[in-house]
Chains A and B, each alone.
Chain A
Amino acid sequence: MSQKQPSPSRAEAPLPGGALDTPAWAFPLLLLLAGAAFWLVVSSGFSLIASIKFHSANFLADCAELTYGRVRAVGTNAFLYGFCVPAGTAFGLWQFARLGRSRLPLPGLIAVGTGFWHVGVATGLLGILRGDLSGFENLEMPGYAVPLLFLGIVVLGLWGCLALHERQQTVLEASHWYSLAALFWFPWIFSTASLLLFTFPLRGIAQSVIAWWYSGNLLIVWMGLVGLGALLALLPLATGSRQRHLALFIFWTLLLFGSWVGIPSAAPLPAWMPVTSRVFTVLLLVPACAVAVLLVGSNSKERDLEVPPFLRFAGGFFVLYGLIVSIGAFLHLDTVTQFTWFKPALEMLGGYGFFGFAIFGAIYSVLPKLLTLEWPYQKLIRAHFYLALAGLLFATVPWFAGGVVQGLDWRNPNVSVVEVSARALKFLRPATLGEFLIALGNVLFLVNVGAALFCYIRRAVMGFIARTIAPAGVGVKL
């Protein structure tokens, strides 16, 4: 998708220096995003290694650091904490910042938060490789990385509140509520989970309840808020009070129902917990359908406009995810699909298909405006999209199918364990190819973000030289 020339209105008051007409908060925000793009590539690399291990159990088997469990945990955690959280937070901060003046106070806070966060991620991932993974799914980060991460997100959130406080426009759009709620939701669930799992660990299976609650809130509520916020902000949706009410309705039902999802029905708990969780999972149908209505109602006239294809698909994947989850829970299909490849398929559909696509689309369309530069490699954006889409299909479709086959096999005691795993392997072949394509697409994303960072820094340095060394009149080509 090609970017239209950056609208000058976005960075109204040119900053002193003239050449640099980007706000001071743009650069630290870019660093936050560049770090996210880096961890995204790390994550897909490790996930790919984990996937290859299924085809050859001996692959990298002699090195404790690269054993399946650790590699896989690095893959998911680099994705969640390395990519999703900083990229989603960066999008939220951008939304608040652009409501205000171009000169917002304390842009250094973003840099500090970014530093803490990314150092925290590096510490955590190295810790996982060393064998310090916590054992709680989707929160494998070792306890000692948590304070860094928490500090990072709190500092970033503080700046977000500052930016919001300094805003010039008093009425918030739907997408701002989403981003604001996400900004609070994450620190809240993250601190609750780490306090009760690491600092003052609960006794027995209550730990798992906390971990399930946290995962559900992160993967459904937080990701839903950020991803849908991006869609609302950037898709050419019809605007009007009906849409506004619909957006509010989605917001509320997502929070109200999504925050209870995630306790497996077979969990060794008092029956009310999995039952409650199932009921709320079924109810996810409501926000999923509402999103479908919202998307279908998008302005047809503006449809022809250049809408990043990533954003279009992201909405569809959200609806699909919601339908599969809620209908599956209603029909009790989880008695077959639990414990199978169905689960990673769903997580990839939600995490990469919905959230990832939404964030890619947002970054691709927002960053040029923010930095007032074109993407260095326009063609790679398209290539990234097709690789990501193909990779997603190749990975999730076999996993979904394989999950159903595996689930039926597990239910049949006459099929031996070795047979079950041999049969599942057939489905994992194309899935590994899918993960390879995704990894390749992510590399293209990193190349573009890295090149944009390079261009930005070069322009800043040249501008600086132009102002100090070569005074006005002496031509320095930028």
Chain B
Amino acid sequence: MNYGPLIFLAALFALSGSWLGFVVTPSFQLGTLQQTNTVGAGLTYPLARPGLAQQGLQVYRANGCVYCHSQMVTQERTLCEVVLTEAGTNTTALVAALHKLNPNYNQEALDAVLKSLPKTVVFNTTKTKADAAVKELTQTTAKAQVVITPAGPDIARGWGKRRSVAEDYLYDYPTLPGAQRVGPDLANAGARLPDVNWHLRHLYAPAAEVKGSTMPPYRFLFELRKAGLTPSTQALQLSPGIAPSGWEVVPRPEAVALATYLASLRADAPLYSTPLSSAPTASASADTNAPAGGANLSTNAPAAK
């Protein structure tokens, strides 16, 4: 039996299959990706990082930060809510509609809702149901909108507002989504920690900024200079005992670039590919300043009576 040609063809077929699927197709589908517009504000997204931050990306690559930090926020669900923003003129119809949407509403709770608009009136529903609810509410001349919030463990940790999407990486070379998280995800590091100086101090001595931090220090990105009578303007404002006494710590250009890059990291623009709408105002999350009957507002809170 001579399987030779058959084996050769089989191997060629297998290899070209995955090559077409995972090399050629992504090259066209993703490699030609263009900027898009954010939902709502319609801003161009993403913008190329400023030059210094781009240099910082290279410092990040060169020192292998990617082995401990991902830049890829995951998301498991989207929560849909309906927020009533304006009561309109026809209060009786509105009250009837609200009652229909949520039989648990008693008079007291309804009053509370109408007094502190905007207010979430339907929780944890699907997009179709939310759209139907909005339609019903707007028929009463009131104004309401659907609020979509991505959810999942990463988002609960505050690592981002939505999952990462292809657009977020458009201008990066190399792209560094990362595969392991020894430390936190950094896709939105700049949104959480916008202060370049914090990043510099943290890079010099992570454990001095975050108690118990196991991140290695990057002292080689800094220079020790004999402290003069007046501290240099570039020197880090470290807490006492961190730098050797009599010396001041001045970031090298790489450190400044890296810190600028870290502060530039933010991937939370609402895009069509990731449904996400910013809540009308802070009170949309209901529970903080909710009245006594607040829990009743939840459609799926059977415990609340």
A residues near B, CB below 8 A? 53-54, 57-58, 61-64, 67-70, 72-73, 131-137, 170-172, 177, 181, 184-185, 188, 192, 196-197, 201-210, 212-213, 217, 244, 248, 251-252, 255-256, 259-260, 263-264, 266-270, 273, 276-277, 335, 338-341, 343-344, 410-413, 417-418, 421-422, 424-425
Contacts and interface: CB of A to CB of B under 8 A. Distances in A.
Contact of A269 (B15, B30, B173, B180): B30
B7 A177 contact: yes
A255 B177 contact: no
Contact of B181 (A54, A57, A137, A340): A340
Given A68-B68, A69-B65, A418-B211, A259 B217 contact: no
Contact of B174 (A61, A136, A343, A412): A136
A273 B70 CA distance: 19
24 contacts: A57-B216, A61-B216, A61-B219, A69-B63, A69-B67, A70-B62, A72-B64, A73-B67, A132-B62, A192-B23, A202-B27, A203-B33, A205-B30, A207-B174, A208-B177, A251-B10, A259-B15, A259-B18, A273-B26, A410-B153, A410-B157, A410-B181, A412-B153, A417-B183
A344 B169 contact: no
A35 B163 CA distance: 45
B143 to A, nearest CB: 33
Interface string B144-165: 0000000001001110000111
B223 to A, nearest CB: 12
Nearest to B273: A270
A343 to B, nearest CB: 6
A146 to B, nearest CB: 14
Given A58-B217, A68-B216, A206-B26, A267 B72 contact: yes
B206 interface: yes
Given A256-B17, A266-B72, A418-B211, A206 B27 contact: yes
B26 A210 contact: yes
Nearest to A215: B179
Interface residues of B, number: 75
Nearest to A207: B175
A421 to B, nearest CB: 5
Contact of A204 (B21, B31, B179): B31
A412 B153 CA distance: 7
The 3 A-B pairs at the shortest CB distance, nearest first, are namely A69-B64, A259-B18, A131-B62
B14 A203 contact: no
Contact of B182 (A136, A273, A277, A421): A421
A70 B63 contact: yes
A57 B215 contact: yes
Nearest to A408: B153
Contacts of A425: 214
Contacts of A205: 30, 33, 166, 168-170, 175, 177
Nearest to B170: A204
A425 B213 CA distance: 12
A67 B171 CA distance: 27
A181 to B, nearest CB: 5
A204 B172 contact: yes
Given A171-B2, A209-B22, A273-B26, 20 more contacts: A57-B207, A61-B220, A67-B216, A69-B66, A137-B66, A177-B7, A185-B11, A192-B23, A205-B175, A205-B177, A207-B174, A209-B30, A210-B23, A212-B22, A255-B14, A256-B14, A269-B30, A343-B180, A410-B153, A410-B181
B171 A204 contact: yes
Contact of A267 (B10, B66, B177): B177
